[in-house]
Structure 1
Amino acid sequence: MTGILTARPLPARSRAFDLLLAGALCVTAGFLSLAQAHFGGILAFGMLVPLIWRRTHPELVFFAVCSVAALQWLIGVDLQPGNIGLLVALYAISVYGDTRLSRIALGIGGLGVLMAVSRYWSNADWKQQVTMMVALGALVFGVWAFGERRRTRGLYVAQLEERAAQLERDRDRENKLAVSNERTRIAREIHDVVAHGLSIMIVQADGGLYAADQSPAAAKKALATIGDTGRASLTEMRKMLGLLKQDEPNELDPNQPRPQPGVSSLPELIDNVREAGLNVTYDVTGQPRDLPALLGLTAYRIVQEGLTNTLKHAGPGARTCVKLDFGREMLTVVVTDDGRGAGVAPSSDPGHGLVGMRQRASVSGGTVSAGPKAGGGYEVIAKLPYNLPTGE
């Protein structure tokens, strides 16, 4: 339970509002009470001035106002406009005060109703006394219940805000973890790509050394191959070094090399997906060309992820089309389906497939866009330039 002497933090705007409210009540109800009875007016200010701190110290304010009202009852001062401070203090403790003390305050309010009826309507008949008791009791309980409802709603909104903030933090953490995992996977694949290039360079160097004396032309060709392969591998490594922060060489097994898929492996991938029950068409436009290993791998993974998402989300009977367009400067990869697409409600867990696609495309200097199509279905478009920036 929060101590009643502990001040609640309050924005400057709220403090200013409380000051203006207490001032307005003092000017109106306070001076009206002062006009009715001199000493009673002074007591009215004693019930109105503490309202300045109604939100920072709601329990102290309520009990202070009740103490002044009890003094008013004891000395026989009639009810006056300043007694509205009791209702404001009761509302304040029900909204901002401790829950247990708020219920105690309701009980004190009920006791105050009995005391008021016994003093100020003691000469009335019993019907009038009952009527006033019910009316004052309903007023007190209504003010308290309204404050409790306000408190409950405020707590509910605060919980929703905290939950939304926690979900956002979790999503950011999951996205960062997904990017980290994807970079680790890419690092392993690049290790294989570069290792393949180095293997070619070693074989060509050994062959060139062997043929240097007997066939200078073959040696020159071997040296040219070494230069081309080295430059391509170096370009890929420079690109990756700018993105990858951590590698795990202990998990790489050089004794078990894995062949890296590329564009030429897409027909086999599509056949496997067809066997899983997905209707897929494959279309290639433009003049196919030999692609760098990294670029071919990126295109393959994007198609693979797009088909996987289609299997998961497009629904039964969906038709899918994979298109590769070999343009003059870039390769365009398009994966579309006519499944449920935009008709499906957004998922609370968007997954990490699109994160991985974009990460892979950025490594190759390209971009990926994905989203629902007009009329239904989903579309993934990747634009992958042939030439990687060399960097520093």
Structure 2
Amino acid sequence: MSPRIRGLLAFRAWLQARPSAADALLAAGLLLVGLPQLFLSDVRVTGYEQMFTEPDALGGALVAAVTLALTWRRRAPLAVLLFIVAGGAVLAALRYPPSVPDVVAFLVAVYSVAAHRGLAQSALGGLLAFVYFVVMLVALPVPLSPMVFLTDCALVIGVWMLGRNLRLRRAYFAELESRAARLERARGTDARAARIEERSRIARELHDVVAHHVSVMTVQAGAARRIIDRDADSARDAMSTIEEVGRTALSEMRRIVGVLRTERDMERAGGELAPQPGLGDLGELLDHVRETGLSVQLWIEGEARTPSPGVDVAAFRLIQEALTNTLKHAGAQARAWVRLYYTEDHLTVEIEDDGPGTATIMAGDEARPGHGLVGMYERVALYGGELRIGPRVGGGFGVRARFPLEA
């Protein structure tokens, strides 16, 4: 880029940052062009020497004052228009002929009121300017044809409409920019909310996986410790179950944490994201629980329907968490029942046990609710379901959740 172009761009930026200076330069340019023409012209050449006063220093000063008022046309456009109208009336009263600077200053003032003020002030200024202009044309000692009169009036109206349209256009673009900024802020807020929700989801998943599998491993380890001296084969089976459950827990934890990895990380690790568990994996879950010694029975009523993926995972995790609580609080000697009720629009899940762990669970919940119970409520509520947790009639504990099949 040449130095001349850079200088012009810098000067333009300087003027944009200082609008009053740009307006002052506009007024000075009008005077520089118009004043010499005003004093060099001879009214006697026009044949109206008896109608106009010969331009003099007073007339030049008035024209200069009217034109230089444009310096404040953006700060106070209505006041500038009133000043120019008053100056024009004084020039007409002293019978000075119209000149380029004061006529152009009047039109610029009309444009400024329309472009830089609201509808009320711009309409008032436009009406005042139009009335003043019509009066000046009528009072002008020079005869005007109807076509010239209409053309001059249309010029004033056109200048006002031009300023008004430019103001509306600027307001439209400003609204677009404001809307884009709001959308950007909203997108950032949504992204933060999504991250928070994803962290909560992963925390629930990790809690369910760790709590269930560690509970199973703890029960199996205790059983192996008690029978290792008198039944080594059963103890070895229990240790094998612990090993299998531990590997399953590690596999599920890697899958959950793997959601946070990028595709490149997954390619380097050579792994794939496994699907989330669902009610189709309920048989495997119950087999793991039965290996701890807990008797679990499953009933399915109604025509089995495929729930939405989120409800499928939520129902599975609810059953997993409830059976884990049964193992921890009721013990492996208790019995548990899992029931699935399918209707046309809903899925009801019930998990009950006959163990003595009700008091322990409720006391802990009242003192400081654990992550398991809180996670149950959060998970069910997330998919628009209803959850009831409490003691069971006849002893034991029960969990009942009702999910819509389409979350």
Place the TM-score, normalised by the shorter chain, in its bin. Answer: 0.5 to 0.7
| CA 223–108 in structure 1, closer or farther in 2 if over 3 Å, else same | same
For 1:112, the equivalent position in structure 2 comes to 132
For 2:110, the equivalent position in structure 1 comes to 90
- The 3-state SS of whatever aligns with 1:134 is helix
The separation in 2 between residues aligned to 1:297 and 1:112, in whole angstroms, is 81
User: Pick from 50, 66, 73: which aligns with 1:47?
Assistant: 66
- The 3-state SS of whatever aligns with 1:331 is coil
User: Pick from 63, 67, 70: which aligns with 2:82?
Assistant: 63
The separation in 1 between residues aligned to 2:36 and 2:142, in whole angstroms, is 29
The separation in 2 between residues aligned to 1:124 and 1:39, in whole angstroms, is 23
The separation in 1 between residues aligned to 2:244 and 2:34, in whole angstroms, is 92
Aligned residue pair count: 241
The separation in 1 between residues aligned to 2:93 and 2:169, in whole angstroms, is 38
- The 3-state SS of whatever aligns with 2:271 is strand
What is the deviation of 1:301?
Answer: 8.4
For 2:250, the equivalent position in structure 1 comes to 292
Q: Conserved in 2, the CA contact under 8 Å of 1:48 and 1:85?
A: yes
Q: Do structure 1's residue 144 and structure 2's residue 144 form an aligned pair?
A: no
Q: Conserved in 1, the CA contact under 8 Å of 2:112 and 2:163?
A: yes
The separation in 1 between residues aligned to 2:214 and 2:253, in whole angstroms, is 18
**Aligned pairs for 1:256-295 within 5 A:** 292-294=250-252
Runs of 5+ consecutive residues of structure 2 not aligned to the other structure: 1-14, 41-54, 261-265, 276-407
- The 3-state SS of whatever aligns with 1:162 is helix
The separation in 1 between residues aligned to 2:38 and 2:267, in whole angstroms, is 88
| Aligned-residue RMSD, C-alpha | 3.8
**Aligned pairs for 1:236-275 within 5 A:** none
The separation in 2 between residues aligned to 1:163 and 1:327, in whole angstroms, is 40
2:159 is aligned with what amino acid?
Answer: V
| CA 214–34 in structure 1, closer or farther in 2 if over 3 Å, else same | farther
Q: Conserved in 1, the CA contact under 8 Å of 2:205 and 2:256?
A: no
Query: TM-score, normalising length from structure 2?
Result: 0.50
Which is further off, 100-109 or 139-148?
Answer: 100-109
| CA 328–297 in structure 1, closer or farther in 2 if over 3 Å, else same | closer
For 2:323, the equivalent position in structure 1 comes to none
For 2:269, the equivalent position in structure 1 comes to 329
The separation in 1 between residues aligned to 2:37 and 2:184, in whole angstroms, is 54
User: Pick from 73, 82, 92: which aligns with 1:73?
Assistant: 92
| CA 328–152 in structure 1, closer or farther in 2 if over 3 Å, else same | closer
The separation in 2 between residues aligned to 1:101 and 1:166, in whole angstroms, is 30
Query: TM-score, normalising length from structure 1?
Result: 0.52
- The 3-state SS of whatever aligns with 1:78 is coil
- The 3-state SS of whatever aligns with 1:292 is helix
Q: Conserved in 2, the CA contact under 8 Å of 1:117 and 1:129?
A: no
For 2:221, the equivalent position in structure 1 comes to 205
Identity %, equivalent residues: 29
Runs of 5+ consecutive residues of structure 1 not aligned to the other structure: 1-9, 231-288, 303-325, 336-392
For 2:199, the equivalent position in structure 1 comes to 183
- The 3-state SS of whatever aligns with 1:107 is helix
Q: Conserved in 1, the CA contact under 8 Å of 2:210 and 2:249?
A: no
What is the deviation of 1:221?
Answer: 9.6
Deviation track 1:62-100 (CA, whole Å, cap 9, x = no partner) reads 112112112112222110112111111111110002321
What is the deviation of 1:33?
Answer: 3.7
For 1:196, the equivalent position in structure 2 comes to 212
What is the deviation of 1:295?
Answer: 5.3
Q: Conserved in 1, the CA contact under 8 Å of 2:217 and 2:245?
A: yes
Q: Conserved in 1, the CA contact under 8 Å of 2:35 and 2:60?
A: yes
Larger radius of gyration: 2
